[in-house]
Structure 1
Amino acid sequence: MKDKLVPAADAPIVEKGRTMVPLAAVAGPLGLSLSWDPAAKTATFGKWNERVKLAVGSGVAIASGNPARMGGIKLDSPVRIVNGRVYVPLRFLAEQFGYRVSVEGRDVRIRAPLDASQLALLREGDLADARRLAMSLPPGLTHYAVDLLPNTHEREGYNVTWLFPEGRSDRMIVVNGDQASYAELSEDGWIVKWQAHIPVGEKDTIELLWENKVTDQKGTAPKLQGSYLFWSSTDQVATNVLSSGRLSDAGKEILGWRAATAGEPGGQTQGELSLTLPGETRR
């Protein structure tokens, strides 16, 4: 029902500019699971492996399952009961799961996090532009279908690498420090379906990943085959290094890199930094 008008059985309540709607008016259209504890007067909404708990009269919601939205979150309008119906803050709950909403009289319009043009680009547009968009989407558009895996920070400095299967931009692996996450694109954003740790070893991090030398796996691991485009950003002290290239059974091949030190003009470059592989076409 996203991007469509969703009629509510009871008119929304507006308090201090905040719209409150009955439980089912938001749960159903968003595809959320809903459980109600009448004794504790607490509603728990869920999707993927993420949960939000709201209690009647409380000004704080408890969120779990997504590192971008965790712990106690202050509410502008607490959950309340009106004429025997439980009302929850519409915008907070929708945005907690990444959706955009608006209220038109008695109707609620719910929009998908990604618009049609973004989805078209990510699924079938220019590969370089699509991958650039994929890497730039905010953390709030990433959701988790697996238990969260903590980052153990075994490596010094900061490093994040994005890996895209050759010819595609609708799925990717993100290696952030010692943690690898595999995500697939949906109209709801990126859905993480697998995570694992990459222990410190003799080889480069993504080469260890390719050889499946990982631990603490959660979810279903992607099949690494063929070749992948990688784009990597590494910070060591005041120096940033960007590199791109190919990862395959032949190992890691760097096709271009640039190193820049803060406060110093220019920098060093070699080869060509690119978000596509030589001769790569979309699949």
Structure 2
Amino acid sequence: MKKYFKPSLLAILVLAALSGKAIASGSGSISIDVNNDRIDTDAASYIDHGTTIVPLNVLQKIPGISVAWNNSNKTVTIVQNKKTITLVAGQNSAAIGSNRVKLPVASLIKNGRVMVPLRFIAEAADAYIGWNPYTRNVHVVKPTPEMIEKTKSSNLAEARQATLKLPTVRLLKPITQGVGSDSKYYYFPEGKADQIFMTIGNGVEYLEAINGHLEQKWVARFDGKGTIKGPFFLPDIAEEVGKQPAISSDRITFFKQILPIGEADYGFIEKNGQITTLGHHDMPGLYDFFVIPEEK
């Protein structure tokens, strides 16, 4: 049985993603996402001397590491593969294996909670971390080897599905976008899986796969009165943030997903603007791409 979307809810979620807006967690508060999952914390995170300080339970959500707290000697121990990282509450240095390194801010115990500097630990554990000052959202990214391997599939549809399921980092300033639509468009340079344009309603964002995560590089709004020239397959732009990407292929592959019925039109757009719709295919879920035989 096909599962169809509730368009109004999906439109809200997609528009929030396109604009880079974090789902509100309170004015001035800091939200933390680990591999796209919002983390509920038992104490409020805060910034000290430019460093985000988080409760210890945030570290436990990062894949591939183990975290232990020794209350008798006030020591945090993090193990990742064969690497051991130790911090002592109140000390402004830490150990990575046998090496001592200076911390930007010491870990501490605050209101009965162990608080630690997130960036130092995440990067020491080989995770990527990004901070969006506009939404006060921290992205922590550590994809599994299996996730990355799937993006390399020789089956282009599978590679695209896997790429869109990578953790996504949005660090651009949000822009105001209008109402959604019952259709969502995906545009790929022909033969590519690692460069994606997505539109719904009058919003568009461009994502690139970089080192195991998707990174928002450009977001824009078009309203029929735009004066900024956009990519050849999009209307003129009224407002944009980020760097408008160059197109790496001679034509664009498109999927127009019709959300209420879980199906999609698909085809190509040439550089001269000519649109060729090749057919219609089931597309019941987000990122349920399929092979287009005519695609090179």
Alignment TM-score, normalising by the size of structure 2? 0.51
Partner of 2:148: helix, strand, or coil? helix
Equivalent of residue 146 in structure 2, options 109, 117, 138: 117
- 1:172 aligned to which of 193, 196, 201: 196
Answer whether contact 1:242 1:258 (CA < 8 A) is retained.
yes
When residues 76 and 165 of structure 1 are mapped into structure 2, their CA distance, relative to the original with a 3 A threshold, is same
Q: Which residue number corresponds to residue 242 of structure 2?
A: 219
CA shift for structure 1 position 259? 7.8
1:229 aligned to which of 250, 253, 261: 253
2:198 is paired with a residue whose SS is: strand
Q: For each residue in 1:136-165, what CA deviation from the matched residue of structure 2 results, as whole angstroms up to 9, or x when unmatched?
A: x17xx2111321223311x6x422111111
TM-score (norm 1): 0.54
- SS of the residue aligned with 1:276? coil
Aligned match of 1:267? none
Q: Deviations over 1:138-194 (max 9, x none)?
A: 7xx2111321223311x6x42211111112111111112211111111235210010
Partner Cα distance (2:220, 2:53) in 1? 39
Partners of 1:92 and 1:50 in 2: CA distance: 21
Q: Which amino acid aligns with 1:88?
A: V
Identity of aligned residues (%): 16
1:89 maps to a residue whose letter is P
**Is 1:130 aligned to residue 159 of structure 2?**
yes
Cα deviations by residue, 1:9-48 (Å, 9 ceiling, x for unpaired): xxxxxxxxxxxxxxxxxxxxxxxxxxxxxxxxxxxxxxxx
Which segments of 5 or more consecutive residues in structure 2 lack a partner in the other structure? 1-19, 23-27, 47-51, 69-76, 81-124, 128-140, 284-288
**What is the aligned partner in structure 1 of residue 138 from structure 2?**
none
2:264 counterpart residue number: 242
Change (3 A) 1:103 1:149: same
Structure-2 separation of matches of 1:234 and 1:62: 35
CA shift digits 1:106-130 (9 cap, x unpaired) = 2243465322233233246321210
Summarize the Cα distance change of 1:196–1:122 in structure 2 as closer, same or farther, 3 Å threshold: same
How far has the Cα of 1:244 moved from its partner? 1.3
Measured after TM superposition, the shift of residue 195 of structure 1 is: 0.5
SS class of match (1:222): coil
Partner SS state of residue 180, structure 1: strand
User: Cα offset for 1:93?
Assistant: 6.2
How far apart in 2 are the matches of 1:107 and 1:64?
19
Match of 2:169 in 1: 143
Query: Contact between 1:61 and 1:74, CA under 8 Å: does it hold in 2?
Result: no
One-letter code aligned to 2:31: A
> What's the CA shift for 1:90?
3.7
Q: Distance in 2 between matches of 1:75 and 1:160?
A: 34
Contact 1:162 1:175 in 2 (8 A): yes
1:151–1:179 CA contact under 8 A, matched in 2: yes
Change over 3 Å in CA distance of 1:213–1:100 after alignment to 2: same
Q: Are residue 76 (structure 1) and residue 42 (structure 2) matched?
A: yes
Q: Alignment length, in residue pairs?
A: 190
Instruction: Determine helix, strand or coil for the equivalent of 2:172.
Output: coil
Deviations 1:181-238 (A, max 9, x none): 111112352100100012258xxxxx98625511211000012351121112123xx5
If each structure's strand is expressed as a fraction of its own residues, which one has the higher value? 1
- Residue matched to 2:78: 107
Counterpart residue identity of residue 176, structure 1: I
Q: Letter of the aligned partner of 1:62 in structure 2?
A: I
**Aligned partners of 2:191 and 2:282: how far apart in 1?**
27
One-letter code of the match for 1:247?
I
2:156 is equivalent to residue 190 of structure 1: no
Task: Report the alpha carbon displacement of residue 248 of structure 1 after superposing the two structures with TM.
Answer: 1.8
Give structure 1 stretches of 5+ with no counterpart. Answer: 1-48, 52-59, 81-85, 202-206, 261-272
Q: Residues 244 and 254 of structure 1 are in contact (CA less than 8 Å); yes or no, is this contact kept in structure 2?
A: yes
Partner residue in 2 for 1:63: 31
In structure 1, what is the Cα distance between the partners aligned to 2:293 and 2:175?
31
User: RMSD of the TM alignment (CA)?
Assistant: 4.1
Residues 123 and 90 from structure 1, CA distance in 2 versus in 1: closer, same or farther, beyond 3 angstroms? farther
> Hey, what's the Cα distance between the residues in 2 that align with 1:176 and 1:189?
22
User: Residues 277, 226 of structure 1: CA spacing in aligned structure 2 closer, same or farther, 3 A cutoff?
Assistant: farther
